[in-house]
Structure 1
Amino acid sequence: MRLKQETPDDWWEVEALFDLCFAPGRTALSSYRLRDNTEPLRALSTIARDAQNTLAGAIRFWPVKVGNHDALLLGPIAVHPTHQGEGLGAALIEDGLSSAKSAGWKRTLLVGDAPYYQKFGFEILPHVVMPPPTNPDRVLGAGAWTGVAGPVTPWPEKTGGQT
């Protein structure tokens, strides 16, 4: 399995993987409103290809604001059903968080299951508010969240952010 940066040429294949792995209507979720008119950060968005060069997994990161603070929104992340249970999801998350830290990003959030994401350093963010109807117990963050509170809003620029 090899990890590499997602390129624009991978877009349709990655979207097909997300469609396969998530319920129909995934783009209707409130987290997708935070991605409207914003591009994923290509330097942090990664794909995994197997020995046959088949797309096996993908992860994307998006810049957002939490109050007046910059943050990354992790997701979607997906692993093709034929490669689930191999640790590929964990590898994509660990690689992504490491790359984000190296790029100067201080905090990452996602909407997910705390028992799974805790092993990557994510905790419930009680003072961070995702657009409704997000369950607040599923709003998780890793990194420097002390003193950061407020609503999660879209990044103000189309091309993505810095720190």
Structure 2
Amino acid sequence: MTEVRIEQPEDADGVRRLLESAFGGEDEARLVAALRPTHAWLPEFSVVAEENGRVVAYALLSRVMVGGEEALALGPVAVTPPRQRQGLGSSVVRDALRRATEARERLVLVLGEPAYYRRFGFVPAAPYGITSQWSAAGDAWQLLALRPVEARYPAAWRAL
């Protein structure tokens, strides 16, 4: 049976092993390790899927700034190779996004495969003027608005 839940401190080694296995190297594991001691680390948005005491999928939302306002970045997202294409990645991403929505977070950015992330509602970020060092990735640079933002006009507009 698979349990999707918030990462616990004792999961850190399993997350590292999963990232190294899924990505075939240490870069993503180093990223997560570098984020852990910073203000960008939000433990309530570090989600694992566990099967038989083993971490088999992972999704992380960490803090970023967009135009002076707080937002989230999704990544890394990983699934152990033998369990890929079985819905585990979607499960941890959906759970992380649900938690962020419940926490009243506003915006999530991701650099990833558009066909995959579109299923969660992500759209290309460039048309919205949100840029980063990954903007050159084209449609792979994406955003998801977690809640509506209301535009408020001054009273003079009500006369129209």
Q: TM-score range by the shorter chain?
A: 0.7 to 0.9
TM-aligned CA distance change 1:68 to 1:145, over 3 Å? farther
RMSD: 3.0
Within 1, Cα distance between the matches of 2:43 and 2:82? Answer: 25
**Secondary structure, counterpart of 2:44 in structure 1:** coil
Deviation at 1:134, TM superposition (A): 5.3
Within 1, Cα distance between the matches of 2:84 and 2:142? Answer: 23
Counterpart for residue 139 of structure 1: 141
Count of aligned residue pairs for this structure pair: 146
Q: Unaligned regions of 5+ residues in structure 2, if any?
A: 150-160
Counterpart for residue 157 of structure 2: none
Within 2, Cα distance between the matches of 1:35 and 1:134? Answer: 28
Structure with more relative contact order (C-alpha pairs < 8 Å, separation 6 or more): 1
Contact 1:58 1:92 (C-alpha < 8 Å) held by counterparts: yes
Deviation at 1:113, TM superposition (A): 1.1
Letter in 2 for 1:130: S
TM-score normalised to the size of structure 2?
0.78
Within 2, Cα distance between the matches of 1:15 and 1:25? Answer: 8
Within 2, Cα distance between the matches of 1:125 and 1:35? Answer: 26
Contact 1:40 1:60 (C-alpha < 8 Å) held by counterparts: no
Within 2, Cα distance between the matches of 1:121 and 1:105? Answer: 15
Whose Rg is larger? 2
Q: Unaligned regions of 5+ residues in structure 1, if any?
A: 148-163
Within 2, Cα distance between the matches of 1:10 and 1:53? Answer: 9
TM-aligned CA distance change 1:145 to 1:109, over 3 Å? farther
Poorly superposed stretches of 4+, deviation over 4 Å: 32-36, 144-147
Structure holding more helix per residue = 2
Deviations along 1:9-41, one digit per CA (max 9) or x if unpaired, are: 2112101111111143525x99x9988844521
TM-score normalised to the size of structure 1?
0.77
Instruction: Map 1:1-163 to 2 at 5 A.
Output: 1-24=2-25, 26-27=27-28, 37-50=38-51, 52-126=52-126, 127-131=129-133, 135-143=137-145
TM-aligned CA distance change 1:132 to 1:106, over 3 Å? closer
Letter in 1 for 2:46: S
Deviations along 1:62-84, one digit per CA (max 9) or x if unpaired, are: 00001112110011010111211
Identity fraction in percent: 26
